[in-house]
Amino acid sequence: MCASISAWEYPYSCGIAGELEARLRHCDGRAGPVDLDIRACVFDAYGTLFDVNGPARRFAGEIGDKWASFSQTWRDKQLQYTWLRTMMGTYKDFREVTADALDFAMEANGLSDPGLRARLLDLYNKIDAYPDAADTLKALKASGRTTAILSNGCTPMLSAGVTASGLGELLDHVISVDGIKVNKPNPRVYELVEEQMSVKPSNVLFVSSNAWDAHAAAHFGFNVIWLNRTGQPDERLPGAFAARGTQLADVAKFLKA
């Protein structure tokens, strides 16, 4: 299964990192579109397939006008705690980290309603997918590719989210860090894809809306699409992307699925 990358889709066509360049091949031997043998499409979950701003948006009336900054603080702390706990060797599962991050965000925003806290956490377990998630996964499966999630989320939380979002039948694998008790961007996490899916990194397209995750996955050896939903500048980190997009529908477009 070859995916053709046109010049406008491929931002690094004139300067790819060595490890990625070694895996790209021109099918006709000439300069032009680059083809990748993509057999599995692996997605980050939270922020990529799942809308992490959904819970705070739903309760904006109780949180107030600052709900968007509240949601960003919650998300930032959630990520920071996964990184810091991995470095400290003090792993907590994603439910606990999410609750700790929420407690920080509530205190930082002067909120102390236990009922609101419980409702936000409950909704995070029933999180919505982005509107184009289902159609994108359907297109990828119809093209004969395997689909999967690779997430720092714990298994119960991921299972609940996949069920609530209606994506369960569209995913062949849901891979959690539970078993290894470290979080992305640790390379050990990306190794789980090959171990559990029996697919080489060169045959994987990894998709994440988190630039740090996208860079780490590319540095590991995956072909990567960074979904830059909010127009952020790129991180100054190793690992070159195969392409960039702004929505999940761009993944199917990239693969001509």
Active-site annotation, residues: 44
What Cα–Cα distance (Å) separates residue 133 from each residue in 37, 85, 91, 129?
A: 22, 30, 30, 6
Q: Is 146:112 a contact under the CB 8 Å cutoff?
A: no
Q: Give the other-Cβ count within 10 Å of 77's Cβ.
A: 20
Task: For residues 186 and 83, give the distance between their C-alpha atoms in angstroms, rounded to a whole number.
Answer: 9
- Cβ contact 74:56 at 8 Å: yes
25 secondary structure, DSSP code: B
Identity of the amino acid at 236? R
Asked if residue 139 lies in contact with residue 177, where contact means CB atoms within 8 angstroms, the answer is no
Strands 243-245 and 223-227: parallel
Structure tokens at 250: 């761009």
Cite the beta strand spans of 99-235 per DSSP E.
146-151, 173-176, 204-208, 223-227
Contact 54, 133 (CB under 8 A): no
